[in-house]
């Protein structure tokens, strides 16, 4: 009995030691990744969009290439070939526990008419979105995703007719997860299309995101001749979308971008598997051959 207890305590000690080693290894890996990212401040030119970004105070900018790495390799989202960059809060890294960022894209859909802005019933629109989301869930589940519950507006849609900017936020829940996701949407209208900025985080950082909305909206300016006010109905394309249409854009359009939770999954999963394998080999003995196992596969981000 004493011998069994001694072995059990030894195993517990090994589990603790291996676990601490793997945690240290994971933290080191996170630090290495964070220090490898090259952030920019100041003015960023988006030549193809005929606009520029003046990085707002409290943020730093990651270019398109690094943004794809963060979104896909670190956060587990599908590759977005249209991403222009990320605005990352300067007080936290992309792998911090409370991290979040604004994704930046441009949709060249043309000139969006705003004559419906004042007549939209956003409460009714929310009900329709909730209904569509619920109806789409069986299809999502069949494709291996978790069902989505659109809880409601975290911030009701607001359109500034003078500045030609639109913003709103949704609260979402995935599957049986008790933690809500914040999806904050910003739209900046131009003559040839719309800048699409989305902040994805957990609801507990809403208080951090909300005060930044105005300065982020004003950080992007169009070149002369490309602003919303330069529209010429004789030659410029009119979008099929309206203000209401922008807000009603499908909740599932970019499903991967809801999965900021999954950002640690690859690093931590590998660390845990490594620790467990080492402990198991010790218990079985040095001469035991480890069982063959398939390479660790990370499923699509919502499954994490």
Sign, Cα dihedral of 63, 211, 34, 298: negative
Percentage, residues of the chain above pLDDT 70: 73
Q: What is the pLDDT of residue 1?
A: 52
Mean pLDDT over each residue of the chain, to the nearest integer: 79
Per-residue confidence at 293, pLDDT binned at 50, 70, 90? very low
Where in the chain are all domains bearing CATH 3.40.1000.10? Answer: 39-258
Cβ neighbours of residue 228 closer than 8 Å, sequence gap 6 or more = 111, 164, 189, 190, 191, 222
Tell me the C-alpha distance between 170 and 136, whole Å: 17
In the sheet where 43-46 sits, what is the strand order? Answer: 43-46, 51-54, 220-222
Residue 10: its pLDDT value, please? 57
pLDDT on residue 233:
94
Write the pLDDT tens digit of every residue in 179-214.
888 889 999 999 999 999 999 788 888 999 999 999
Helices 265-284 and 2-36, packing angle to 10 deg: 150
CA torsion sign, 34 to 36 to 41 to 47? negative
The DSSP annotation for 1-68 comes to -HHHHHHHHHHHHHHHHHHHHHHHHHHHHHHHHHHH---B-SEEEEGGGTEEEEPPTTEEEE-HHHHH
- Give me the torsion for CA of 143, 147, 152, 158, rounded to 10°: -10
Ranking 48-62, 75-89, 151-165, 253-267 by mean pLDDT, the lowest is 253-267
For 222, the token pair is 């169009």
Question: Among residues of the chain, what percentage have pLDDT more than 90?
Answer: 50
Answer left, alpha or beta for residue 164, where phi above 0 means left and psi between -120 and 50 means alpha.
Answer: left
Look at residue 16 in the predicted model and tell me its pLDDT.
Answer: 58
The DSSP H or E segment spanning 182 is strand 181-189
List the CATH code of the domain at 39-258.
3.40.1000.10
Would you place residue 250 in the very low, low, confident or very high pLDDT band (cuts 50, 70, 90)? low
| In the predicted structure, residue 297 carries a pLDDT above the cut 60 | no
CA distances from residue 120 to 47, 117, 249 in whole angstroms, order as listed: 34, 6, 14
pLDDT at 17 over 80: no
Positive or negative, the CA dihedral 253, 257, 262, 266 is: positive
Report DSSP state, residue 74: I
- Binned at pLDDT 50, 70 and 90, residue 248 comes out as confident
11 contacts: CB under 8 Å, gap ≥ 6: 279, 283
What confidence tens digit (pLDDT) does each residue in 61-85 have? 999 999 999 988 888 777 788 999 9
Among 107-111, 215-219, 224-228, 300-304, whose mean pLDDT is lowest? 300-304
- pLDDT class for 30, splitting at 50, 70, 90? confident
Q: Which of 8-22, 131-145, 216-230 has the highest mean pLDDT?
A: 216-230
Total count of residues recorded for the chain: 304
pLDDT band at 252 (very low <50, low <70, confident <90, very high): very low
> Is residue 27 predicted with pLDDT exceeding 70?
yes
> Environment class of residue 129 by beta-carbon count within 10 Å: exposed (0-12), middle (13-18) or buried (19+)?
buried
* 290 confidence band (pLDDT: 50, 70, 90): very low
Q: What is the reported pLDDT for 300?
A: 33
From CA 221, how far away is CA 227, in angstroms rounded? Answer: 8
More confident residue, 40 or 260: 40
Cβ neighbour number for residue 285 with a 10 Å cutoff:
7
Instruction: State pTM to two decimals.
Output: 0.76
Question: Hey, what are 114's tokens?
Answer: 């705003």
Q: Give residue-wise pLDDT tens across range 141-179.
A: 888 878 889 999 999 999 999 999 999 999 988 888 888
């Amino acid at each position: 009995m004493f011998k069994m207890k001694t072995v059990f305590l030894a195993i517990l000690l090994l589990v603790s030691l291996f676990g601490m080693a793997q945690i240290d290894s994971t933290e080191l890996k996170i630090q290495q990744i964070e220090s490898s990212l090259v952030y920019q401040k100041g003015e960023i030119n988006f030549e193809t969009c005929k606009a520029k970004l003046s990085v707002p105070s409290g943020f730093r900018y990651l270019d398109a290439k690094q943004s794809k790495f963060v979104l896909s390799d670190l956060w587990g989202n599908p590759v977005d070939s249209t991403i222009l960059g990320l605005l990352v809060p300067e007080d936290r890294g992309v792998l911090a526990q409370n991290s979040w960022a604004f994704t930046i894209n441009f949709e060249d859909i043309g000139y969006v008419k705003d004559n419906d802005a004042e007549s939209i019933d956003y409460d009714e629109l929310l009900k329709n979105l909730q209904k569509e989301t619920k109806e789409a869930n069986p299809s999502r589940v069949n494709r291996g995703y978790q069902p989505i519950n659109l809880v409601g507006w975290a911030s009701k849609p607001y359109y500034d007719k003078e500045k030609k900017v639109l913003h709103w936020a949704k609260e979402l829940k995935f599957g049986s997860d008790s933690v809500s996701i914040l999806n904050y949407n910003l739209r900046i209208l131009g003559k040839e299309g719309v800048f699409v900025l989305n902040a994805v985080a957990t609801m507990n950082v809403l208080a951090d995101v909300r005060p930044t909305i105005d300065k982020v909206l004003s950080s992007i300016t169009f070149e002369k001749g490309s602003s919303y006010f330069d529209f010429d109905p004789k030659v410029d394309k009119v979008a099929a979308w309206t203000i209401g249409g922008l807000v009603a854009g499908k909740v599932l359009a970019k499903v991967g971008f809801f999965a900021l939770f999954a950002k640690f999954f690859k690093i931590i999963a590998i660390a845990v598997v490594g620790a467990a394998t080492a402990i198991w080999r010790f218990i079985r003995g040095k001469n035991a051959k480890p069982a063959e196992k398939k390479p660790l596969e990370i499923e699509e981000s919502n499954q994490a």
